[in-house]
Structure 1
Amino acid sequence: MSMPAVFLALAVATAVVALGLLSLMLVQSVRERRLTRRYQGERAQDGTVRNGAGAAWVAGMAEGGERIDRLLKNPDETRILLAQAGWRDAQSRTVFYACQFGLPVLIGLFVLPLSGVLGLTSGSLNSLLLVAFVVIVSLLAPRYVLRARAKRRRERISAEVPLFINLLVLLFEAGLNMRQALSSLVRDGASTMPELVNELAPILRQIEAGADADQLLFETGKLMAIEELDTVLGILRQVERYGGEIREPLLEALDNLQSKRSMALREQVNVMSGKMTVVLVTCFFPPLLIFIAGPAFMSISETLGGL
């Protein structure tokens, strides 16, 4: 038996085992919910069951997605990515985990008829390989979408940090303390700093409820993993804990931020100039040489041909 056939057989077996595990996890989650309802003494009537059937299926798919997430990656990474993407509420997490579980199953079920339309016989090796490939891609697709969403949002937050620093300086110079400044930004800054306001609003609510502001700012800075924002939040933590002057540290942080972005822009310009040089050499110089040296070369060749 040749090596490609062995690899194909292993891929098919892996896909079959994966689909079986997904089905078993779904059945197990349904049984666990039933046992939980019986243990808690819930007696839902027929109308309530019909109304909550869709939600129950989504919850079951979400539980299966969480199990898949634990099998594929560290669950803490998913939690961090969801927070960085701005999907902090339970509904958003449920939808993501439901997609993580339901997308491979649905796509796998749709690919089987499609393979028949494409001329692949049901149960053939090519059909099974196509299903296995699509299921594996659909398993990884939600995480890549989540990473792309988190990356774009972190870039937007990073772009809003300079304005955030300037507004903090103005508010502190007006005599406001840290909590009053954050409250003013959350109340009036949604149109200019939408992403930062969405991050600051839950922090402000927890601070007003009595939570430790120092710990909240520290956790937010580490969770978002944005160097500029972490620096600003560190200054706010220092002022909240020890007091003191805040205008100079904020302005110094703003100068450092502008210097880093200026250096990054210069580096980008240098890289772009190098790329343009390659394009110039490969696309512009050959036609120019032909245009300039072509007539002279033809005249020399005609003269030598006459001799």
Structure 2
Amino acid sequence: MNLAALVVAIAVASGVLAVGMLFLAILTGAQNARLRRRYQGERLRHEGRVRDNRQLWMEGMAESGQRIDRLLKKPDETRRLLAQAGWRDVHARRLFYAGQFLLPTLVALVALLVFGGLGLLAGSARSLLGLMVLIILALLAPRWYLRAKAARRRERIRAEVPLFINLLVLLFEAGLNLRQALSSLVRDGAPTMPALVDELAPLLRQIEAGADADLLLMETGKLLAIDELDTVLGILRQVERYGGEIREPLLEALDVLQAKRSMALREQVNVMSGKMTVVLVTCFFPPLLIFIAGPAFMSIVATLGNL
């Protein structure tokens, strides 16, 4: 019993020490961010008001979340997923990194308090293993959510590509160049292509600021990793670099895209037909047999019973 109490005390003390070290890391990150802003010449007062301390805490947690991201050795993947999910601004990235730090910290603290209070950690390897699994799941949950959100947004962009091609054909036939066409789509295309317009808006701002359109289109295609959109952006790159006719390549790309979607729909219909056959056999066919053969079977049973 004394050994069990000693194990619980050591586990709780270790948890409190770990939480203290994590909060110390938050304070250190906030202090580093403050010193970096001072070094870069950023003012701590804006319009006569002191910078909010909650934002400093948020920056400190974001710094700790970035350290966890580097510990997982996937910072490049995180930046790519954040861009695919549409979280390009500083506030959204800061919230993600803060959540990546805060969620496993809270889960570890609550699990240690609950398990330690109930005495489940004493002499139980299964409880310790469960605690480790909870912490690992909490550590990986933000990345799983980010991957799911990025995948959903990529699907929305993929669904908007055919309309994007048709609008490009109309705009180029009207005599607009690439910059004017993108500007028109960003200005008027948000109700019909919200996800794609969110990607085109920063691209247009950088082009208008003097950046190389060819390089930006190539980086956008690689970043989003959508084959249909990458094909369209490749056509725009070739026209921007070498000039020439753009209507025919875009229409050919649209035909190929529609053929792929038609094949995908046929595959879905075939899969759905197989599933419906299974449902028919398992759910509809037995009641039908009972309804049809039931009276005859009951008559045969009654006749044999009379014999």
Band the TM-score falls in, shorter-chain normalisation: 0.7 to 0.9
Shift of 1:76: 0.4
Residues 186, 200 of structure 1: 8 Å contact kept? yes
Aligned-pair Cα RMSD in Å: 3.1
**Structure 1 residue 120, shift from structure 2 partner:** 1.8
CA contact (8 A) 2:121 2:128 kept: yes
Comparing 268-277 and 36-45, the one that deviates more: 36-45
**Corresponding pairs, count:** 292
* 8 Å CA contact 1:120, 1:127 repeated in 2: no
Distance 2:35 2:232 in 1: 49
Matched, 1:55 2:55: yes
What pairs with 1:156-167 in structure 2 (closer than 5 Å)?
A: 156-167=156-167
1:287 offset after TM fit, Å? 1.3
Q: How does 1:278-293 map to 2 (within 5 A)?
A: 278-293=278-293
Structure 1 residues 247 and 63, CA gap change in structure 2 (3 angstroms): same
Q: CA deviation at 1:306?
A: 3.2
- The change in CA–CA distance for 1:111 and 1:260 in structure 2 (over 3 A counts) is same
8 Å CA contact 2:235, 2:250 repeated in 1: yes
CA contact (8 A) 1:82 1:93 kept: yes
After superposing on structure 2, the runs of 4+ consecutive aligned residues of structure 1 that deviate more than 6 Å are 37-45
Structure 1 partner of 2:217: 217
Once the two structures are TM-superposed, the CA of residue 107 in structure 1 deviates from its matched residue by 3.2
1:235 positional shift: 0.5
Alpha-carbon distance between aligned partners in 1 of 2:127 and 2:137, rounded to the nearest angstrom = 16
Q: Distance in 1 between matches of 2:262 and 2:155?
A: 16
Q: Which residue of 1 aligns with 2:269?
A: 269
In the TM superposition, residue 209 of structure 1 has moved relative to its aligned partner by 1.1
Matches of 2:56 and 2:152, distance apart in 1? 32
Counterpart Cα distance in 2 of 1:42 and 1:77 = 30
The C-alpha deviation readout for 1:155-190, integer Å capped at 9, x for no partner, is 111111111101000001111111111111111111
CA contact 2:115–2:121 (8 Å) conserved in 1: no
Counterpart for residue 4 of structure 2: none
Deviation at 1:191, TM superposition (A): 1.3
Matches for 1:37-56 after TM superposition, within 5 Å: 51-56=51-56
Corresponding position of 1:3: none
1:255 aligned residue: 255
Shift of 1:19: 5.7
TM-score calculated relative to the size of structure 2: 0.84
1:98-177 to 2 correspondence within 5 Å? 98-112=98-112, 120-121=118-119, 124=122, 125=124, 131-177=131-177
SS in 2 for 1:210: coil
Q: Please say if residues 112 and 127 of structure 1, whose CA atoms lie closer than 8 Å, have aligned partners that are also in contact.
A: no
Per the alignment, in what secondary structure is the counterpart of residue 86 of structure 1?
Answer: coil
Q: Deviations over 1:249-272 (max 9, x none)?
A: 111111111111111111111111
C-alpha distance in structure 1 between counterparts of 2:53 and 2:275, whole Å: 58
- In structure 1, the partner of 2:71 is 71
- Which stretch of structure 1 is more off in the superposition, 293-302 or 95-104? 293-302
Closer, same or farther: CA 174–40 of 1 in aligned 2, 3 Å: closer
2: CA distance, partners of 1:222 / 1:237: 13
| CA separation of 1:171 and 1:77: change in aligned 2, threshold 3 A | same
What's the TM-score once normalised by structure 1's chain length?
0.84
SS of structure 1 residue aligned to 2:118: coil
In structure 2, the CA distance between the partners of 1:50 and 1:265, relative to structure 1 (3 Å rule), is same
Aligned-residue offset at 1:105: 1.5
Contact 1:121 1:127 in 2 (8 A): no
**Match of residue 95 from structure 1:** 95
Task: Provide structure 2 residue ranges, at least 5 long, that are not aligned to the other structure.
Answer: 1-7
Letter in 2 for 1:195: A
